[in-house]
Chain A
Amino acid sequence: MNKLRKIFTLDSLVVPLVAIVLGLIVGALVMLLGNYNPIEAYSALIKRVVGSPYHVGETIRQVTPLIFTGLAVAFAFRSGMFNIGADGQVLIGMTTATAVSLSLDGVHALVSVPLAVIAGGLAGGCWAAIAGFLKAKRGINEVITTIMLNWVALYFSNYIIRHFFLLKGQNRSEDIQASASMTFLSSIFDNARVHWGTVIALIAAAFFYIYLWKTKQGYEMRAVGFNQHAAEYAGMNVGRNVIKAMFISGVFAGLAGTFEVLGVFHFQSVFAASPGYGFDGIAVALLGMNHPIGVVFAAILYGGLTYGSAGMSFAAGVPPELIKIIIGSIIFFIAAQGIVRFILKPFYLKRKKEKVL
């Protein structure tokens, strides 16, 4: 038993690393099959990411919403729920931030931006809390409700933008004046779209860690996440925790959307289909083993790959869809740890033998 535990803690670092390597190998194999040069492609990818201050800044821009949505999915996971609805929560956060900012046109940015951020986060949280509420009160599986709410959010957001904030003749909202951009960094990053959201995202990761592992509310939430029956037995209010966990999860997602609008685009599009932020968040959470620090690193990996894929596409002609294949494979190897362990087995055995000697 003890031995098992030691391997397990080792695994929590080794498995993701091995999975990433395996995923990149799968990507290389797919490229070889498609007659591309994987070395050329991967180096083009890396060059694109770290090639210039502008690209570094833009990579940070790409990573930021992934940290938020990754935290959102991971937080729900830790409380025993699967939030597939981060996508919808992002949209609701986005729409709320847009609506608040455009309604407060002319108000000083020091007032309007914080208000928009708070409103966007809260709105995302409330949207997610619907699924939490339905689970707590009626026992309805949150996977189904969050999927359904994604579409409702999509159409609802489009309705709001099209009917109240449409820029004439365009399929997007009017421009938002209030901005969360970090203009003082613009010169360093060569006008890349860096914004305050990145700082908030890192603060959110820290909050995640402290709240869940250091506070009594977090203790309760983890108990509910691991074993609802025991939590109930111990006198905890499971339903309230479920709703609260979904709310906090949704706040993270809502902030992702908020900063995309306030920090990056400064307007909101009418979306034909789901923009996919939430599904990326699932990938990031799984990659990061649902731990806030893991999530930050996973977001950097995913964001880097995604941003770099354009370079890869340009220099080596590889379709950027390859990144999805790589990410999918990495998650596959993490989820099916048995495969990784199977591959690692000879190494473990060797090490054990060495210890005996």
Chain B
Amino acid sequence: MSTAAAAPVVELKQITKRFPGIIANDSISLTLRKGEIHALLGENGAGKSTLMNILFGLYQPDEGTIEMNGTPVTIDNPNKAIKYGIGMVHQHFKLVQPFTVTENIILGMEPKKGLNIDYKSASAQVAKLSEQYGLQVNPNSKIQDISVGMQQRVEIMKTLYRGADILIFDEPTAVLTPQEIEELMAIMRRLVAEGKSIILITHKLKEIMEISDRVTIIRRGKVIDTVDTDKTNPSDLAEKMVGRSVSFKIDKDEPNIGQPVLEMNQVRVESKEGVSLLNGLDLVVRAGEVVGIAGVDGNGQTELIEAITGLRKINSGTITLSGRSITNLPTRKIIESGVSHIPEDRHKHGLVLDFSVKENMILETYYKTPYSKGAFLDQRTIGEYAGKLVKDFDVRTPDIETKARSLSGGNQQKAIIAREIDKNPDFLIAAQPTRGLDVGAIEFVHKQLIAQRDQGKAVLLVSFELDEIMNVADRIAVIYGGKIVGEVYPKDTNDQELGLMMAGFIDKGGQKGE
């Protein structure tokens, strides 16, 4: 496929985009040839998304030009991009939940019969597209009722319905199982075979090696290199992406496992509507080990954490911490009995963004001495404490009075980790702790988790990144349909087996790690 003969369909020439304080894209050039899959590799924050948003008309470049089939064009809104045959499959799906598949696809380009939307012909068109590309999507399902993998296909169909020839996939595999990733790659191959061209934004080397024809690596807004995939290798790509040689293996000793800390026994949780969210879940995490929860988003991970931390009441079952029951205790009691929690969504749960860094550091301890004396806060002690944490955990902030909102994602996460670890918990929950962070910050987080384990703490790591689970966890528990369907050790398993378990095809039962 990567014949040099294929003509360029899109050429980005010397694109520069500045935001207040940063240059997101610094004179970036990129050529997409007809019929190729061109990977765009870079860390979080390297400028990949900005570049693609420029191509899709969501941002305007400050300098540089875009050429389509040799002619310079101005793309100043998504409508124009759509007109030029560019389609984007967004990382966070742009789907209206209460609408049907068909409604989502036709929105903005509705077939009409008189004044009405012609739903009949719309559904027929959607069904036809689905068949042509082997997507198996039901046109009349509501988005809120279909799986994440299916939702992504609807995103793809939105671009196809608009006749896109150039498809941009933004981190498409972030939330898929290994099997779903395989299926997605098959779909991408079929698209290319039908004459489409694809830009694949990702930071996953494995996928790039498997599917792309060429790779462009960008770092801090600049193009580092463009190479043919078959003339490179993962470690070379990684070094170009990060700017130094990196090892994705984590140095860690064998775990020194002690007594059970967290024990969950037949935990059941139902939603208000009576839908079963946790379905008789058993889990044990012992002192000195990291247990990784692997699973596809929406299989009960969030509810599992909420059940442990008291944010959600459980309907039946028991949860104990070092032998004492914490079942359905208020959150504060659970925190006080030694649970720390690095939450999944740092903006929603982890921080009060409009509070200063200082105020955020005492979010769970403000009412205790020495931070409060009587009814009043002791500002001085709090300031000293926050200053110490900021220093110890290398949180980069102008000062401790700075609003948490204005910190970078990595530093916000560091602030949370500092606060949670400094409480010296017996049990630490880390949910998606590296989401959206760059490699340096990811390494920092992983080291902290391992250090906690080595100090004899029990650590629960919940992540959608299988690589992270495989590297950091000492034992992996796979969650599917609200229960643990199997437990394995990283050295005894592989992506394929985990993937099948995550999709519910293998049920090994809860082994409690024995």
Contact = CB atoms under 8 A, between A and B. Distances in A.
A233 B375 contact: no
Interface of B: 20-21, 309-311, 330-336, 341, 343, 348-355, 359, 363-364, 366-367, 372, 375-377, 398, 403, 406
A264 to B, nearest CB: 34
B376 A234 contact: no
Contacts of A5: 403, 406
A352 interface: no
Contacts of A3: 20-21
A2 interface: yes
B343 A233 contact: yes
19 contacts: A1-B20, A2-B21, A4-B20, A5-B406, A214-B377, A215-B377, A219-B377, A223-B363, A227-B348, A227-B351, A227-B353, A227-B354, A229-B349, A231-B352, A232-B349, A233-B350, A235-B333, A237-B330, A237-B332
A230 B355 CA distance: 11
Given A1-B20, A215-B377, A235 B332 contact: yes
B355 A229 contact: no
A220 interface: yes
Contacts of A235: 310, 330-336, 364
In the A-B complex, list the 3 residue pairs whose CB atoms are closest, starting with the nearest: A235-B332, A235-B331, A233-B349
Interface string A1-32: 11111000000000000000000000000000
A248 to B, nearest CB: 14
A226 B352 contact: yes
A236 interface: yes
Contacts, number: 76
A7 to B, nearest CB: 11
B478 to A, nearest CB: 26
A355 interface: no
Contact of A216 (B350, B372, B406): B372
Interface in A198-214: 214
B330 A227 contact: no
Contact of A223 (B331, B341, B355): B355
A2 B331 contact: no
A230 B377 contact: no
B376 A230 contact: no
Interface string A111-154: 00000000000000000000000000000000000000000000
Contact of A214 (B350, B352, B376, B403): B376
Contacts of B359: 219
A235 B309 CA distance: 9
A45 B406 CA distance: 45
A217 interface: yes
A223 B352 contact: yes
B117 to A, nearest CB: 32
B354 A226 contact: yes
A215 B20 contact: no
Contacts of A214: 376-377
A235 B343 CA distance: 13
A338 B221 CA distance: 31
Contacts of A233: 309, 311, 331, 341, 343, 349-350
Nearest to B362: A219
B163 to A, nearest CB: 38
A229 B366 contact: no
A230 B349 contact: yes
Nearest to A235: B332
A2 B377 contact: no
A1 B408 CA distance: 10
A216 B375 contact: yes
B467 to A, nearest CB: 27
Contact of B348 (A2, A223, A229, A236): A229
B127 to A, nearest CB: 40
Given A216-B367, A227-B352, 6 more contacts: A219-B377, A223-B355, A232-B349, A233-B331, A234-B364, A235-B310
A232 B406 contact: no
A217 to B, nearest CB: 7
